Amino acid sequence: MYPKQLLGRSGRLVAVGLLVAALLLALSACSSPQTTFDPKSDAADKIQTLYILIIVISGAIGAAVLIAMGYLMAKFRERPGVKARQIHGNNTLEVLWTIGPILILVMIGVPTILAIVGATRAPSEDALHVEVVAHQWWWEVNYPGLGPDGGTLTTANELHVPIGREVAISLKSDDVIHSFWVPQLIGKIDSIPGRTNHLEPFTASEVGVYLGQCAEFCGLAHALMRFRVVVDSLGDFERWVEGMNTPPPAPEEESFLASGQSVFIQNCSSCHAVAGTVAAGRIGPDLSRFGSRLTIGAGIMDNTEENLVEWITNVTAVKPVPEGLPTALAELGNGKQAMPRFDDTLTPAQVEAVAAYLRSMTIE
């Protein structure tokens, strides 16, 4: 039979194999909260349009070449009595298939350049400016002008932005190169030490929580350098800013929370800041209104009492630190230090108190 002859043993193996592969794929193909194919901003929409254009064009070319190849394989397979035609080439054809691709590339190139120009435009006047500083392995988030008295509002690992208002994010790095990427909102741009980069200004189109992740390899815990972008309604965003700018109520004296606060001030404040308290460390993430955060540890765990206790007790169990002593402060390259484990300096009760204190500072 003709197809059987054509395929032969290896051909049948290939066909069955590819079928199994396709089935496996069909089973596994599902969506992701970090997908690039469900855009939720104007900028991501524009990328999506180009993405589909290029997929369609290259898919069509790929399919055409594969079909042509299959046809040639079938049509010109060795047959008894049929000799190959000694053709050396064909100038007309070769010129045609040089010019053809050039025309197709013009079709792709023009919208590409237009999009590049658009992506590097200046933000509009009423855009919300956010400055993100990447650290090994977390994100510092600053809102110039939104802090108390027109100062800077600082948080970490979670950006809040309002829906419907243009957001202009600038990127810096405190140590090595990182890359800021929230696939559903915007393409990635690197955070480079000594430079300030700018993401294309974007306007989010749907309220929700969007996942982002560092995309440039930045050392040991690169995989755990995640973050969230929370797109709020305008009202929610204003409430969040106001909440961040209001000093947290002091815990009742002698209470469990007060003991947590004092342990925190003694042990944590040289690295961490909490707005409205004496804790003003800048080495680690700012923990103001920590209770309002969705996650801890740069987006790697849900913000629950249990997780936070685990984190403080022995951070090295959940996040690798560079070689060095787990209890002594492991020094990172920029002279800064990784968070130590506290199970040998604090009692479990003290850790629980700190966790409770941090989680008590919420935004209503």
Partner 1 sequence: MATNIAILRRPLDPTGAWAWITTVDHKKIGVLYGLTAFAFFILGGVEALVMRLQLAQADLNVVSAATFNQMFTMHGTTMIFMVVMPAGAAFFNFLVPLQIGARDVAFPRLNALSYWLFLFGSILMNFSFFTGSAPDMGWFAYAPLTAANFSTSSSVDYWILGLQVMGVGTLAAGFNFVITIINMRAPGMTLMRMPVFTWMTLIVSFLIIFAFPVITVAITLLLFDRMFGTNFYDITAGADPLLWQHLFWVFGHPEVYILILPSMGIVSDILPTFSRKPLFGYVTIVLAGAVIAFLGFGVWAHHMFTVGMGRWATSAFAVATMAIAVPTGVKVFNWLGTMYGGSIQFRTPMLFALGFISLFMLGGLSGVMHAVVPVDLHQQDTYFVVAHFHYVLFGGSIFGLTAATYYWFPKITGRMMSESIGKTHFALMFVGFNLTFFPMHFLGVLGMPRRIYTYAPDMGWSGTNMAVTIGAFVIAVSIAVFLYNMVRSARVGQPAGANPWGAATLEWSIESPPHHYNFAIVPTIRSQHPLWDEEANTVEPPPLPYVDESSIHMPSPSYWPLLLAMGVTLVAGSLLVWQAHAIAGLTMGAASGALALISVYRWVFEPAVATEVAEGAAAHH
Show the tokens assigned to 317: 């169990």
Interacting residues with partner 1 between 276 and 305 (CB under 8 A) = 300
Stretch that binds partner 1, among 160-168, 195-203, 274-282, 353-361 (CB under 8 A): 195-203
Question: What distance in Å separates the CA atoms of residue 215 and residue 28, rounded to the nearest whole number?
Answer: 23
Interacting residues with partner 1 between 149 and 178 (CB under 8 A) = 175-177
Show the tokens assigned to 252: 């009742």
Choose which of 3, 101, 148, 151 interacts with partner 1 (CB under 8 A). 101
| Cβ–Cβ under 8 Å, residues 281 and 270 | yes
Q: State yes or no: residue 236 binds partner 1 (CB under 8 A).
A: no
Q: Please name the helix (run of DSSP H) or strand (run of DSSP E) that holds residue 144, with its range, or none.
A: strand 138-144
Q: State yes or no: residue 266 binds partner 1 (CB under 8 A).
A: no
Dihedral in degrees, nearest 10, Cα atoms 196, 200, 203, 204: -80
Q: State yes or no: residue 197 binds partner 1 (CB under 8 A).
A: yes
Site string for partner 1, 63-82 (x = CB under 8 A): --xx-xx--xx--xxxx--x
Q: State yes or no: residue 3 binds partner 1 (CB under 8 A).
A: no
Shorter beta-carbon distance to partner 1: residue 1 or 102: 102
Question: What distance in Å separates the CA atoms of residue 158 and residue 173, rounded to the nearest whole number?
Answer: 17
Q: State yes or no: residue 234 binds partner 1 (CB under 8 A).
A: no
Would the CA dihedral through 292, 298, 304, 305 be positive or negative? negative
Q: State yes or no: residue 55 binds partner 1 (CB under 8 A).
A: yes
Q: State yes or no: residue 144 binds partner 1 (CB under 8 A).
A: no
Choose which of 88, 122, 149, 364 interacts with partner 1 (CB under 8 A). 88
Number of residues in contact with partner 1 under rule CB under 8 A = 105
Show the tokens assigned to 5: 């002859």
Question: What distance in Å separates the CA atoms of residue 290 and residue 284, rounded to the nearest whole number?
Answer: 13
Question: What distance in Å separates the CA atoms of residue 169 and residue 127, rounded to the nearest whole number?
Answer: 10
Show the tokens assigned to 171: 């990127």
Q: State yes or no: residue 42 binds partner 1 (CB under 8 A).
A: no
Question: What distance in Å separates the CA atoms of residue 183 and residue 199, rounded to the nearest whole number?
Answer: 13
Site string for partner 1, 303-342 (x = CB under 8 A): -----------------x-xx--------xxxx-------
Q: Which of 124, 205, 133, 137 is nearest to 170 (CA)?
A: 133
Q: State yes or no: residue 58 binds partner 1 (CB under 8 A).
A: yes
Stretch that binds partner 1, among 106-114, 146-154, 255-263, 285-293 (CB under 8 A): 106-114
Choose which of 120, 126, 150, 364 interacts with partner 1 (CB under 8 A). 120
Question: What distance in Å separates the CA atoms of residue 153 and residue 141, rounded to the nearest whole number?
Answer: 8
Choose which of 1, 29, 278, 328 interacts with partner 1 (CB under 8 A). 29
Show the tokens assigned to 73: 């394989």
Q: State yes or no: residue 113 binds partner 1 (CB under 8 A).
A: yes
Choose which of 83, 92, 126, 328 interacts with partner 1 (CB under 8 A). 83
Q: State yes or no: residue 189 binds partner 1 (CB under 8 A).
A: yes
